[in-house]
Amino acid sequence: MIVWTLLEWLAWGASGLILAWMVADALRVSHDYDEDVLLSSREGEMIMDEPHDAA
């Protein structure tokens, strides 16, 4: 029974670390990049604009 309780606490700890990592990454990305860059689809437009060979 103690093993399952320990595993439960370890799982909650891992979940907390993942949540902290996600929040830190979101804050870093929002600090490093402008909102216009994050919402743009320039990469998709570049791919769509490339000429394709019909061969």
Residue listed under structure tokens 């490093």:
32
- Say if residue 1's pLDDT is above 80: yes
50 against 38, higher pLDDT: 38
User: What pLDDT sits at residue 28?
Assistant: 96
50 against 32, higher pLDDT: 32
Q: What type of residue sits at position 28?
A: R
Taking only the tens place, the pLDDT of each residue in 4-49 is: 999 999 999 999 999 999 999 999 999 998 888 777 665 555 555 5
52 against 15, higher pLDDT: 15
12 vs 6: CA distance, rounded Å = 10
34 vs 41: CA distance, rounded Å = 14
- Angle at alpha carbon of residue 33, lines to 29 and 36, rounded to 5°: 125
- Say if residue 50's pLDDT is above 60: no
